[in-house]
Structure 1
Amino acid sequence: MLWFLTCVAALIGGYFIYGAFIEKVFGINTKRQTPAHTKADGVDYVPMSTKKVYLVQLLNIAGVGPIFGPIMGALYGPAAMLWIVIGCIFAGAVHDYFSGMLSVRNGGASVPTITGRYLGNGAKHFMNIFAIVLLLLVGVVFVSAPAGMITNLVNDQMGMSMSMTTMVVVIFAYYIIATIVPVDKIIGRFYPLFGALLIFMSVGLITAVALSSEHQVMGGFEISDMFTNMNPNDLPLWPALFITIACGAISGFHATQSPLMARCMENEKNGRFVFYGAMIGEGVIALIWCALALSFFGSIDSLAEAVKNGGPGNVVYSASFGLLGVFGGVLAFLGVVILPITSGDTAFRSSRLILAEYFNMEQKTLRNRLLMALPLFVIGGILTQVDFGIIWRYFGFANQTTAVMMLWTASAYLLRHNKMHWITTVPAIFMTTVVITFILNNATLGFGLPMQLSTILGIVASLSITGYVIKKSKGKGETDLADEEKPQGKAETA
């Protein structure tokens, strides 16, 4: 229990100490009007209270990733918890802060537009393709996962008979509605309530396992285990752990979601709480599920058996009902189900907005929103027929590659403004090495090269990209779009 509480305390401390430092380096301007005010359209640009924006941001970014990922990552042992803490503070939360604040500074722009502004048109086109592919994969994953979980709940606990296909159709129908209606009608109105359920679920489960006479949080593990790969399937910790645990540590999907709330945030001073803070909140959720996976089943081998018999969804089901009984288990299980649903609809919403920016099509009229959204749902519906395991593997790689692009974009921004770029460059180098090594080494998705050679090539490629970005960006002194359009006060720079 002490290890778990120490990790949680580290995340909270990271928010107040390192988060404040990141905010200072960025240099907020409390006098500049945000896009929520300058571009208010009643559909996507809608001012909302800070608490609402935070809870919506948390739900947008927290799909099944911070639950399924840490459960799968727990197969590596307590080392997974170290990555969640370190990755969240120094990489994930920094990534989320810059993806949100750069959107605020650039009129609520989506991530491909921001990437193009600071890394060039080639990077913009690459990011457009990658972001759309990622969001479609997210949408499909976040249809299939909750559909399967709800079907199991209805059939097993309620004694009813429901097909998964029926549930997929119902969720898709909801996604279509949530994607095209104004952001404050469904997302802004109901998601804060879902956020409260999410918090209840997380706190309730970890409290239950702490008070349980049968289970002990992190019981049976030594300090030395924190640095040991305990995976029973002999899967290498490097670089697979850093792909497996994405959303709880660093996730490129978040870069596609942050602009949604950048269009609703009322003041730049709220950015640290909304963007950096939501990632810290997701990190706590990831720690809870990693600890539950390591504690509830008693051993790594038993956890592996549970995953083998029904995937991470089976772990969620077993832990929820095993710790909280039928009533509490239903609430906790629904809290988990809500996560992918509230991320899936915003994934399609982000796709619509990215396409709209690319084709320069305004989204105030319903007709234009449907023109952008319906083709995405047709493709998404086709992809639901592909094996879930295949979709998940490609999602993991696409997710972390998008994060890499966002981190390099943030580095280019800081270089152009003569600010401390290493706060984003260091995690960018690390994550670039991770994704390149992974794709070169992985025989299923990539090239199947030896691990040592793949790692060397990954390091060389990362250092080459670092030199290119520094040379291309340093000292250009480029202003933000907001500065070019209407300066509104002196920035509070570091």
Structure 2
Amino acid sequence: MATFIIGLVILIGGGALYGHFCERVFEPDDRETPAYAKQDGVDYVPMATWRNALINLLNIAGTGPILGPIQGILFGPVAFLAIPIGNVIGGSMHDYFAGMICTREGGMQMPQFVEKYTNRGIYYLYDVFICILLLLVGAVFIYTPGDIFNTQILGRSGAPSDPVTWVIYTVIFVYYLIATVFPIDKIIGRIYPIFGAILLISAVGIFVAIFAKGYPLTDIWASWNTVGANGANSGFNYGAYFGAGPFADGAKGIGGHFLPIFFVTVACGILSGFHTTQTALVSRTIKSERKGRFVFYDMMVTEGFIAMCWAAGTMAMINLGAKAGGVTMLFDQTTKAWTFNALVNGKMAAVSATSVVGILCKNALGPVGGMISIIGVIVLPITSGDTALRSLRLTLTDTFHLKQEKNSQRLLLAAPIFALVYVILVWAKLDANGFNILWRYFAWSNQMISLFALAGITIYMFENNKARFAWMPMIAGTFYSFVTCAFIAHAQIGLNLPWVAAYTVALVWTVFYDGITIHGGVKRAKAISSSGADTVAA
């Protein structure tokens, strides 16, 4: 429990201090924001700070800060420290500067941000990359809330052969279409306060239950081999999983490769490239630059809090064991993977990570409170999926300079986008391993896309006489260039290289990434300096 509390102190206290520092570095002022300068009643709409903050939180907090920590806590209590440290100096900083730069640049979207602060070649690469990512986000965030609702609320199988499965997907799909096409303050701005209330009940409820029920949490300095409430078989050896074992029956851990696997598994609670596509949206509705820290930085810290609660709650369920109402980790000899197991109709059965959501909610908050919390979990991905597809529409609009003043024009552009999303969704549901493949590419690409923003933030600092602070985005950029490259170089969905080769490739790529980023920043600073000197001479 103490490690969890220390992590919360780092997250909240560190977030307050570093957030203030980020604000001092950027220097927000009272200039007119795009919400007023370009007000159009559709995308550029002044909205209250609390509404902007809530929209941004719900936009960025999909299933990532829930399903990621549920899987990531298997690495042990080190997660309680890695999540807050990474969130404070990485994810929250990334979201704040991206959101604020987009605000100051007239509400530009991320492709234009990348084009301005890198070059046209990287811009084209980013444009393709972000469109693919947003399509994957749309598909994932229809699939996961649909399945949670189907299995945890309705108690159905969620199988593709069940017509109810497709009815639920279609309802979410139609809502996404409405939210994507209609003005932001007419749909998203009105319905999100309701969603936000449910979200807060869910997260705070689990947080309170962790202390009120005295859930067993493992500390980083104690034994990582838990016993559980019903004997040795109900516990889990986090230390062996973190390393290479030993486990019985040929079970294995992750071989000590905490880096990079953990940071791809627990993506959204620490740092997520997808977030910049959402902060760019909010940059068009924020009333004052001085509210940016609360809207951008503090909402990412809040997402870190959500991730911490779900990580702790899941650890508690594992430490309790299935017989005490939690879950038991068992190694599946067929898939060669660790699986969550729970008592289903009195018998031990493997359950998905989404089912762990229901188990934790009901154990922590009882039947009624648990059901409300489950609804909150369903809301999270839905409120990210709708704005992901809205962001994709805006990206295409800005890239190809398309007119979007009328609903018919927006619907015409949204139609092919949604057709592609539905094709991906059908494939993921019908293929036995489709969703696993979809989720892995989504998780990796989500982190990879952050490198573009971090490079752009670094170059922005060089261009605006803030080069002495370039280390801030460079720390995160260096770290995640190594993480994403090492992961895809080793993974079977990537190059499938041995770990030594994967780490070598990642090291070379990281040096290259740092080199071209710093070179771009220095070159931009010199160009600005020369331009200023020429102006003075003239």
**TM-score, normalising length: structure 1:** 0.91
Residue identity opposite 1:230 in structure 2 = Y
Cα separation, partners in 2 of 1:223 and 1:249, compared to 1, 3 Å: farther
Which of the pair has more CA radius of gyration?
A: 2
Q: Deviations over 1:257-286 (max 9, x none)?
A: 111111100010111111111100000000
Moved more, 375-384 or 237-246: 237-246
Aligned to 1:492: none
Residue identity opposite 1:406 in structure 2 = A
State how 1:256-267 maps to structure 2 within 5 Å: 256-267=277-288
Count of residue pairs brought into register by the alignment? 474
Contact (CA 8 Å) 1:91, 1:424: kept in 2 or not? Answer: yes
Please tell me whether residue 211 in structure 1 is matched to residue 237 in structure 2: no
State the SS of the aligned residue for 1:254: helix
State how 1:30-429 maps to structure 2 within 5 Å: 30=30, 32-156=31-155, 163-212=164-213, 215-216=215-216, 218-219=217-218, 222-223=221-222, 225=224, 230-231=241-242, 233-235=252-254, 236-298=257-319, 302-303=328-329, 304-306=338-340, 309-385=350-426, 386=428, 387-419=434-466, 420-429=469-478
State the SS of the aligned residue for 1:326: helix
State the SS of the aligned residue for 1:20: helix
Counterpart-to-counterpart distance in 2, 1:183 and 1:244: 32
Counterpart-to-counterpart distance in 1, 2:240 and 2:108: 41
Aligned to 2:16: 16
Counterpart-to-counterpart distance in 1, 2:312 and 2:288: 36
Q: Percent identity?
A: 37
Counterpart-to-counterpart distance in 1, 2:505 and 2:439: 25
Moved more, 407-416 or 466-475: 466-475
Q: Deviations over 1:63-105 (max 9, x none)?
A: 0000000111011111222221111011100110122111101
Counterpart-to-counterpart distance in 2, 1:477 and 1:219: 49
Contact (CA 8 Å) 2:86, 2:271: kept in 1 or not? Answer: yes
Question: Structure 2: 5+ residue runs without aligned partners?
Answer: 157-161, 226-237, 243-250, 322-326, 330-337, 342-348, 429-433, 529-538
Q: Deviations over 1:331-384 (max 9, x none)?
A: 010011000000010110000000000110132211221122111100000000
Contact (CA 8 Å) 1:417, 1:476: kept in 2 or not? Answer: no
Residue identity opposite 2:106 in structure 1 = G
Counterpart-to-counterpart distance in 2, 1:360 and 1:223: 59
Cα separation, partners in 2 of 1:154 and 1:316, compared to 1, 3 Å: closer
Contact (CA 8 Å) 2:152, 2:355: kept in 1 or not? Answer: no
State the SS of the aligned residue for 1:230: helix
Aligned to 2:520: 472
State the SS of the aligned residue for 2:405: coil
> How much does 1:408 deviate?
1.0
> How much does 1:439 deviate?
1.1
> How much does 1:305 deviate?
3.6
Q: Deviations over 1:449-487 (max 9, x none)?
A: 12122112212211122122212221634999xxxxxxx
State the SS of the aligned residue for 1:389: helix
Cα separation, partners in 2 of 1:282 and 1:229, compared to 1, 3 Å: farther
Aligned to 1:486: none
> How much does 1:322 deviate?
2.0
**TM-score, normalising length: structure 2:** 0.84
Q: Which has the higher contact order (CA 8 A, sep 6+)?
A: 1
